[in-house]
Amino acid sequence: MKRVLKWLCCFTFVIALSTAGVTASQAASKVMWGKLEYKSGMIGKVTVMKDTVRYEKNTKGKLVSVGKMKKGEEWGVYALKPQHYELTRKTYAVKSGSLKYEALTKSKIDQIKADSRVITSGLKPSTKYEYQFSYPGYGLYTSKFIGRENGYDLWDSYDSETGNRETWCYFESKSEFVYGIYQSNLLYWMKMPVYLNESWSNHSGISNELISYRVTSLSKTVTTKAGTFRNAIEVKDSFGNYSYYYPGIGLIKSIGYQNKRMVVYEELYKMTKVR
């Protein structure tokens, strides 16, 4: 039990107190790049660093002012001209220090698309695998699926060296994902489906303290002893702890910071396919 208390301060009673952010349908309908909606044909974007003029071409091909671009706005760029950026709606901006240009690379497109996903399932461990997790300072635990009870998938988690043993439970539906130590208050709750910037708050199952959570990325590359996982889900809590999940596998890593140094609480060490 001691191995989990170090990071289980983020575990909660299974009661959601509040949620915020866009709806899942909105998240699925737009692919966002910062403040800007990504659209086909876009090669980059400009961020307005200082108010500047936006132009259109008249019938003679001459640029004429049609309005202002305000500081902080982001505009898609569809073509680069020697002296201008061709913007959304066939408007133009003069290249200057008032605009900061960022090219849209393939890796950036992949990141944008990953962060625009809506994850509807696959956060609980797959029964196709046997897992080993490393808990620094507490040992290496093997986790095996042992059946279902009261709607939960049950996993036997044990340390062969010390004999320590716990039963963990996992439940996943269209509206929630719950896991933790079976028949206890140490249950972690996540709102489903998962999308970028989704947030919720719950009371801690240990101290009854209100803890806030936010999905801060769907495109993280996370390295563990079991391998490197691309486009992992990152969830940050109000204590500054981070948990990482990979669809189809489940939790792969949990970290925090102590005296500005990263501390690994839990890490996927090995996966073995069950025959």
Question: How many helices (H) and strands (E) in the chain?
Answer: 3, 22
Q: How many Cα atoms are found within 13 Å in the side-chain-facing hemisphere of 192?
A: 17
pLDDT band at 69 (very low <50, low <70, confident <90, very high): very high
In a domain? residue 267:
yes
Please give the mean pLDDT across all residues of the chain: 87
Interatomic CA distance for residues 179 and 162, integer angstroms = 24
**Residues 179 and 63 grouped into a single domain:** no
Question: Given pLDDT bands bounded at 50, 70 and 90, which one contains residue 88?
Answer: confident
pLDDT in tens, 240-257: 999 999 999 999 999 999
For residue 59, is it within any domain?
yes
Residues 169 and 267 in one domain: yes
Which of 52, 84, 106 is the endpoint of a domain? 106
pLDDT at 231 over 60: yes
Do residue 20 and residue 151 come from a single domain? yes
Domain that holds residue 144: 2-28+118-273
Scanning the chain, the segments in alpha helix (DSSP H) are 2-5, 24-29, 106-115
Residue 176 pLDDT greater than 60, yes or no: yes
Per the structure, how many domains does the chain have? Answer: 2
Residue-wise pLDDT for 42-59, tens only, equals 999 999 999 999 999 888
At 187-219, the pLDDT tens digits run 788 999 999 999 998 776 666 788 899 999 999
DSSP state of 275: -
- From residue 229, alpha-carbon distances to 224, 252, 269 in Å are 8, 9, 13
Considering the domain boundaries, does residue 200 fall inside one? yes
Indicate the Cα dihedral angle 11, 193, 271, 187, nearest 10°. 20
